[in-house]
Amino acid sequence: MAARSGEQFLARLAAARVHVEIQGETLTGGVAEHPAFRNVIRTYADLFDLQHDPAYRDVLTYPSPTSGEPVATSFLVPKTPEDLAKRRQASKLWADRSLGMLGRTGDYLNSALMALGAAHDWFAQADPAFGQNIQHYYEKVREEDLLCTHTLVPPQANRAVPASQQAGGALMAHVAREDDNGVVIRGARLLATIGPFADELLVFPSTVLRATPEDQPYSFACAIPNDAPGLRYLAREPLDYGRPRHDHPLGSRFEESDAVVVFDDVHVPYERCFVLGDPDLCNGFYSKTSAVVHMTHQVVARTTAKTEYILGLVSLLTQAIGIEQFQHVQGDIAEVITTLETLRALARAAEADAAPNEFGVLTPAWPPLNTARNLYPRLYQRFPEILRKLGASGLMATPTEADVNGPAAADIETYLQSATLGGKERVRLFRLAWDTCISAFAGRQALYEYYFFGDPVRTASAYVASYDREPYMAAVRAFLDRD
Ligand SMILES: Cc1cc2nc3c(=O)[nH]c(=O)nc-3n(C[C@H](O)[C@H](O)[C@H](O)COP(=O)(O)OP(=O)(O)OC[C@H]3O[C@@H](n4cnc5c(N)ncnc54)[C@H](O)[C@@H]3O)c2cc1C
């Protein structure tokens, strides 16, 4: 099969019996019709459709090395600078469609699987079968164009003790037993964005947390069909309230859902296991395979799209109410521009200094991307703050579509007009700003940017630990030793 269309994505979802607990309701299928998920699923279907649109398909797909059929560019194993550029362009194209608000579009984890599949020899060091398993799995996801989510971190019960000691070790998902043809997983993991409507769940090690020898039962990597028996999602309250697009322009399109993952004795056949009982391999999972680099390359394309959106929005807002001439307003706009240009420069530096890794994959330079990974979680927090400061009371002068088209229409047109916009248009713009900086959807976006790629505090520690500072210390020592 080739890159999927939206219809094919929906058809597979319709057949899946995914177990989701949501607001007191138990779903065992039918997520695509559920009000919590149907709008964002429609958005995802539109993204799949773009792969077949003559205007975009050359960027979004390439010929499969096995079938020759077009498959998603995010599976392309980059060998040349043009390949890397194409990967970035494909991610940016999708991200532009969602203003960077969708964190778990397929390209994020496809990028990881591409690098992991190419590094099959690294997996084979524990057992040749694991090398074959990861390679076959990558090819399966590529050829079937499956949508994956992942779950990495232990339940947040007591962070004062290692996860292996929380509730006697029972909470965190672990290999409870092995049988003739696989393992049985029991326990839970935080958190899976798009869990309820993904095709596959990747149960992978954390990108940040280090495993110790005591973590052996918790140290594994495998992939599970989303409707596997015993797998269930505890979804949070949805932030898509079924309101018109005018009223909730972002929440009504891009509300991805996050869910705690419970493994109630989920059987995973060996051919879907990539690491078993090996803390050391889990610690090298992303770095030794370059998976984290390719994931971050995708993330920077997405966050660039998001920052471009913020710059456009802030600029329209400040123009609308005539505040652009104030210096502090320009200072805030300059801050957004600086973030945008920093991301672009880091992506460009990473691609310019790309080199083949030991598995022959052209891999962007890690320090610029690691810098972006460490910067954006903090820099993004300023954007809603800037929008709130500049939008001020206008963010509360935001009647709904029913008002704009109802008895209040004349008042709205007159009293909510702005320097550049009529009342109706100004309300539309400010509702978008509200959904970017105030709504529950906006709050979740800020939390997502801060945490989705790991705790920034520990990401920074990992950065320090991995950065070669010796030349700079030597230079200072040499200066101290000068006459
Ligand atoms: C919206 C959202 C979506 C997400 N989606 C996914 C997903 O799809 N898949 C997935 O696997 N994960 C996902 N995550 C989880 C994400 O990986 C974690 O939030 C992140 O790794 C931090 O872990 P935690 O949330 O358990 O925070 P905790 O580890 O509980 O940290 C809570 C606070 O305590 C501090 N703290 C705790 N322990 C330490 C320590 N040892 N040293 C220093 N400080 C410490 C932290 O700095 C933080 O301030 C998502 C998170 C969010 C918020």
159 within 8 A of 106, measured Cβ to Cβ: no
Per-residue pLDDT at 162: 86
Residue ranges of the chain with per-residue pLDDT less than 50: none
90 within 8 A of 62, measured Cβ to Cβ: no
For ligand 1, atom 37, the nearest C-alpha belongs to 159
Calpha distance 232→216 (Å, rounded) = 24
Torsion sign, CA atoms 285, 286, 288, 294: positive
How many Å from the N-terminal Cα to the C-terminal Cα in the chain? 71
Tokens of 62: 């390439």
Calpha distance 100→340 (Å, rounded) = 13
Mutate to test the pocket of ligand 1, among 105, 153, 302, 453 (most ligand atoms within 8 A of CB): 153
Using DSSP's 3-state secondary structure scheme, residue 320 falls into helix
Q: Which helix (H) or strand (E) holds 177?
A: strand 174-179
Mutate to test the pocket of ligand 1, among 147, 190, 194 (most ligand atoms within 8 A of CB): 190
What's the CA dihedral at 277, 282, 283, 286 to 10 degrees? 170
84 within 8 A of 290, measured Cβ to Cβ: no
Of all atoms in ligand 1, which is nearest to the CA of residue 447?
A: 53
- Report the predicted TM-score, pTM, of the whole model to 2 decimal places: 0.97
Mutate to test the pocket of ligand 1, among 449, 452, 453 (most ligand atoms within 8 A of CB): 452
Mutate to test the pocket of ligand 1, among 109, 159, 461 (most ligand atoms within 8 A of CB): 159
Q: Which of 151, 140, 53 is nearest to 93 (CA)?
A: 53
Of all atoms in ligand 1, which is nearest to the CA of residue 454?
A: 21
What pLDDT digit, counting tens, does each position of 351-392 carry? 999 999 999 999 999 999 999 999 999 999 999 999 999 999
Calpha distance 128→121 (Å, rounded) = 8
Of all atoms in ligand 1, which is nearest to the CA of residue 450?
A: 53
CA 246 – ligand 1 centroid, Å: 33
Q: Which of 44, 250, 60, 221 is nearest to 147 (CA)?
A: 44
Strand partners, 232: 262
What's the CA dihedral at 422, 312, 85, 208 to 10 degrees? -130
Residues flanking ligand 1, CB < 6 Å: 149-153, 156, 159, 190-193, 258, 444, 447-448, 451-452, 454-455, 457-458
R_g over Cα of the chain: 24
Would residue 29 be called left, alpha or beta, if left means φ above 0 and alpha means ψ between -120 and 50 degrees? Answer: left
332 within 8 A of 385, measured Cβ to Cβ: no
CA 4 – ligand 1 centroid, Å: 33
Calpha distance 354→294 (Å, rounded) = 11
What pLDDT digit, counting tens, does each position of 225-261 carry? 999 999 999 999 999 999 999 999 999 999 999 999 9
What is 289-309 written as a DSSP string? TTHHHHHHHHHHHHHHHHHHH
Calpha distance 207→459 (Å, rounded) = 9
Of all atoms in ligand 1, which is nearest to the CA of residue 189?
A: 11
Helices (H), 51-188: 57-60, 81-97, 106-118, 120-124, 128-144
CA 8 – ligand 1 centroid, Å: 34
Calpha distance 51→73 (Å, rounded) = 9
Using DSSP's 3-state secondary structure scheme, residue 379 falls into helix
The two beta strands, 182-193 and 174-179, are antiparallel
CA 388 – ligand 1 centroid, Å: 26
CA 460 – ligand 1 centroid, Å: 14
